[in-house]
Structure formats: structure tokens, C-alpha cells
Amino acid sequence: MGKALDGERDYVADATAYAQGVVSGEILACRWIKAACQRQLDDLERDDWEYHFDSDRAWRICYFIELLPHIQGQWKTWNIVLEPWQCFVLTTIFGWVDDEGRRRFRKALVEVPRKNAKTTIAAGVGLYLLALDDEPGAQVYSAATTRDQAKISWDIAKRMVERSPGFQERYGISPLAHSISIEGNAAFFKPLSRDADTLEGLNPHGAVIDELHAHKTREVFDVLDEATGSRRQPLLFIISTEGDNSAGVFAEQVDYAQQILEGRHKDETYFAVIYTIDPEDDWVSPEAWRKANPNLGVSVFEKDLAVRCGQAQKNAASQSSFLIKRLNVRVGAGNAYFNMLAWKELCYHPGLKIEDFYRKSCIIGLDLARRSTWPPKYHSSTSARTGRFSEGSTSRKTRSNAGIRTMTSTAAGQMENILR
């Protein structure tokens, strides 16, 4: 990884090696990280566009953050030492500029599970935007839905400044009760939330938007996004774990980022990394955990994940939480009603065939919510006379509280597919 603090570490080389390792398969990663790394490697080969990669600017952000002290937890060094994946994220966001020296990326989405040090890095990014980004009168915000949430990243940044007298002296920074300010430059870094007195009149140079998945409305995001128009090179730095809302502003940003990474949409100003698992992965395996948690072995520990995974296999609510918060898997609801692993362990019989149930009474439970593409596979044989299937029939009859209904041939075909 190189040396921290002495200026000799080649962060760009570490970042490029990481991207190459991901693309080659040497480093375990999901499809979205592979796509993000391939995008960067491809961009470095391009010479037909308006941007170029400035290695000095890419190096500068990493060197600055490694000068900052750790605030929480126990670490081998007093200062932050960046992991290769963090070097990749930071050098890519800050290294690309246009011919006038303006930063290419205006939005950056970093979606990573809990305990992967995203908030600490976000605090460093906020301080960099405040003091070292060559922006007169920079206004930087740590934004969230509530003031307490907004202050999490900001409090870390403030304590970093308090423990760095050289930083204060060099840039004239004052850590105040509600603001980190540079009086001589009229610049500041403040927490901002939806419950603030007003969200109007902002002129942000940068914003760290913390846990966007928790934003029930898009108000804070839209205000900050729309208010950056007068700045030369603004940056919205979005950090979050996954959530259980498939229709909110965070899901919208993730879906948009995935379109870019898949090549279905072109937006050269939007950077994204999404650390999660692939659909075919076994979520109870350590290999899946490593895909989703790039800081595994540093700030995330396999023993802790193993304990939580064991709980998730026995409890539906724990399973939902584990998938969302530890593996960044979007689920449809905050709490699952059924634990399908336990169901399969107790009820699944690999020798059974649909033909075994012809002319048998059975109960079929259907969830026909419009948000679901297919109903779930909940069905069981029973002696209750609630319905009967006839072999070779083109229609099916089932009983409900409202009475007997005859299913259409299309619905019957869908039902047959479900049962298979």
C-alpha cells in the first residue's frame, strides 16, 4: 500500500492496480464495481474528449485525507491510511478535469455497507472542499433529513480539525459550535437538515449527503442539487447503505447510476460505486461478504458478519436487516414475514413433482401487490376443501371469502408456472 505521511505513496498507482485487479478477477467484486473499474480504465485510454486525468490533483486529495487523524475506534496508526478501494474512489472523483481545470464529476454516489468507513472519508472530503479546492467563499454542507444525522459526519470533521493545529494555522480554520469556518475566505462547513428554518438561499460548493436512503422526501437533495448552478466545480458527495424503499430519491439515484455503469445511459459527470453482491451469490458465504465489504479485515470483521449471518438465517427480520445493511441488497420491505431459509429447510422435498398433487386439495396463498412482478411461491397440500385442481383442465377453480371464482386460461398458466 505504500507509506503514509511521507509523500512517497503513489495513490494513483494503487488505485489503478485496484481497478485492474477487480477487472481481472484477482480482487473479488460484484458486477457494479467491475463496471466502475472498467469505466475508469477505459477513460484513461481515451483521447477524444474534453477531460484529462490530472495525477497531481488525484494525489492531493488522498495525501490530505491521510494527514487527518482517526476519531473513532482503535487503529494501528493515529492518522487515516487509505485502502486501495478508497484510493480508487477518491483519485477518480478528483483526478478528472476539463481543459479549464474544472472537475469532471459533479455527483458521486458511494454505496457501501455499514462499518466500511464511508462517513470518515466523507468528513475528509468535506474538509477538502472547504479549504483546498480553490473555491472562494466555499459553502459546504453535511446534509441529512434530521439535524442529528447531519451532524454525524460534520462532528467527525470538526474533531479532526480540533486535533490538527497545523491544519488550523495553515488555512485559518476555526472549529466553532455550529460551523467550521475560514473567516478570511468567508467559507464554511455546516450541518444542514430538512428541519432547518429554511433551505432557501443556499449557494453550495459541496455537500456530503449522508444516508440518502433514509430521506423520505427528495426536498434536501433537490434543493442542494439545484443550488449548485453558480459554482465553478460543485460536488454532491452521496454516501449511503441500501434501504427498503424502492421508490424514493435514493433508489432513483442508484437506478440511474446502474444505467450509467451498464452503458445504457451516458453521463460523464456522474461517478458511482455500488458495493453489493450479485444475484447468483449465496449471501451466507464469506465470499459474498467480501464482495460487498471492501474494508473486510480493516473495519469490518468476518467473525462479526458470521454471527449476524447466523442470526439472519433463523429470524426473518434479522435476515432483512443483514441483507440491507451488511450486503447492500435492496429488499421490498423492512421486515420479511417469512424466513424462506427456514421454510425450505423444514418443508422442501426435492423428489416432489407437480403431478403428485393432481386431484389433491390444497391451499394457495397469493400476494398480488402491484409492486411485485410475480406472486411468491406459497402453496401447500391440505385436506381443507378450499380448492381443487383437475389434471388436463384449461381452467382452475379456487375458493375465496367472496365465493368461488373461475380463473382465466392466462391466469391458470401463470399459476402452473408458479407451482412448477
Q: Specify if 20 maps to a domain.
A: yes
Environment class of 259 (CB within 10 Å of its CB; exposed 0-12, middle 13-18, buried 19+):
middle
Mutual orientation of helices 84-95 and 11-24 as an angle, nearest 10°? 110
Q: Specify if 368 maps to a domain.
A: yes
* Under 8 Å between Cβ of 347 and 294: no
**What is the model's pLDDT at position 260?**
97
Q: How far apart, in Å, are the Cα atoms of 299 and each of 81, 155, 159, 237, 304?
A: 12, 20, 20, 21, 11
**What is the model's pLDDT at position 410?**
46
pLDDT tens, per residue, the chain with 420 residues: 334 445 589 999 999 999 999 999 999 999 999 999 999 999 999 998 999 999 999 999 999 999 999 987 777 678 999 999 999 999 999 999 999 999 999 999 999 999 999 999 999 999 999 999 999 999 999 998 888 888 999 999 999 999 999 999 999 999 999 999 999 899 999 999 876 556 777 899 999 998 999 888 888 898 899 888 789 999 999 999 998 877 789 999 999 999 999 999 999 999 999 999 999 999 999 999 999 999 999 999 999 999 999 999 998 888 999 999 999 998 865 445 445 555 555 676 767 888 888 888 878 777 665 544 444 444 444 433 344 433 333 334 443 333 334 444 444 444 444 444
Q: Are residues 361 and 241 both part of a single domain?
A: no
Q: Are residues 88 and 202 both part of a single domain?
A: yes
Host domain of residue 413: 351-419
Q: Specify if 283 maps to a domain.
A: no
Q: How far apart are CA 130 and CA 137, in angstroms?
A: 9
**What is the model's pLDDT at position 375?**
44
Amino acid identity, residue 274?
A: I
Q: Are residues 221 and 91 both part of a single domain?
A: yes
Q: How far apart are CA 102 and CA 126, in angstroms?
A: 18
Q: Specify if 53 maps to a domain.
A: yes
Q: Are residues 49 and 196 both part of a single domain?
A: yes
Q: Specify if 22 maps to a domain.
A: yes
Q: Are residues 253 and 376 both part of a single domain?
A: no
Q: Specify if 317 maps to a domain.
A: no
146: left (phi over 0), alpha (psi -120 to 50) or beta: beta
* Domain stop point among 223, 258, 274: 274
Q: Which residue, chain included where needed, has cell 381452467?
A: 395
Q: Are residues 384 and 265 both part of a single domain?
A: no
Q: Specify if 285 maps to a domain.
A: no
* Domain stop point among 220, 239, 274: 274
Q: How far apart are CA 325 and CA 305, in angstroms?
A: 11
Q: Which residue, chain included where needed, has cell 505504500?
A: 2
Q: Are residues 270 and 356 both part of a single domain?
A: no
**What is the model's pLDDT at position 369?**
59
Q: Are residues 258 and 372 both part of a single domain?
A: no
Q: Are residues 248 and 365 both part of a single domain?
A: no
Q: Are residues 175 and 65 both part of a single domain?
A: yes
Amino acid identity, residue 280?
A: E
307-311 long-range contacts (CB < 8 A, ≥24 apart) are 309/283, 309/284
Q: What cell was used for 106?
A: 459533479
Q: How far apart are CA 92 and CA 106, in angstroms?
A: 12
**What is the model's pLDDT at position 352?**
80
Question: What is the CATH classification number for the domain harbouring 206?
Answer: 3.40.50.300
Q: Are residues 202 and 82 both part of a single domain?
A: yes
Q: Give me the number of domains the chain comprises.
A: 2
**What is the model's pLDDT at position 10?**
97
* Under 8 Å between Cβ of 140 and 123: no
Q: How far apart are CA 173 and CA 177, in angstroms?
A: 13
Q: Specify if 117 maps to a domain.
A: yes
* Domain stop point among 253, 274, 295: 274
Q: Are residues 157 and 23 both part of a single domain?
A: yes
* Under 8 Å between Cβ of 204 and 187: no
